[in-house]
Amino acid sequence: MPNRSGDWFRQALRDLEQAEESRERGKHEWACFAAHQAAKKAVKALHLHFGQEAWGHVVARLLRELPPEVRPHAELVEKARVLDNFYVPTQHPNAHAAGSPFEHYGPLQSEVAIRYAREIVAFVRAKMATAG
């Protein structure tokens, strides 16, 4: 079976672009969701790069399950935990006690989400380049 890590990484970059575009348009819930997707797909790309399958949507867990030689430092895992909070509630109106998702996310959340996703994507890019 061919290694599809490049496909996953390129999609991660596109998702990150979508996060930035959504933020610029004031669609902060979508920016947060797309940032999470970018980080998740980038980490899955790194798993595939090392011949591992990766399942699930929890970026922090996906980072912790990387091979020992490429596991990130604890701070990056903590940033992934922040991103993991943007997976379900940014999409589902019943994830909050009241209000639609767009009413719960603003510039502060999308800025942080995009910054953390960029850090994870950069980490993955560096590891894929040095372990190629």
Buried b (16+ CB within 10 A) or exposed e, 114-124: bebbbbbbebb
Written as six digits, the tokens of 101 are 């998702």
Contact present, 101 and 29 (Cβ < 8 Å): yes
Domain ranges across the chain: 5-130
Q: Phi and psi (nearest 5°) for 120?
A: -70, -45
Dump pLDDT digits (tens) for 76-131: 999 999 999 999 999 999 999 999 999 999 999 999 999 999 999 999 999 999 86
Q: What is the pLDDT of residue 4?
A: 94
Dump pLDDT digits (tens) for 40-54: 999 999 999 999 989
Dump pLDDT digits (tens) for 9-44: 999 999 999 999 999 999 999 999 999 999 999 999
Distance CA 116, CA 67 (A): 21
Indicate the CATH number for domain 5-130.
1.20.120.330
pTM reported for the whole predicted model = 0.95
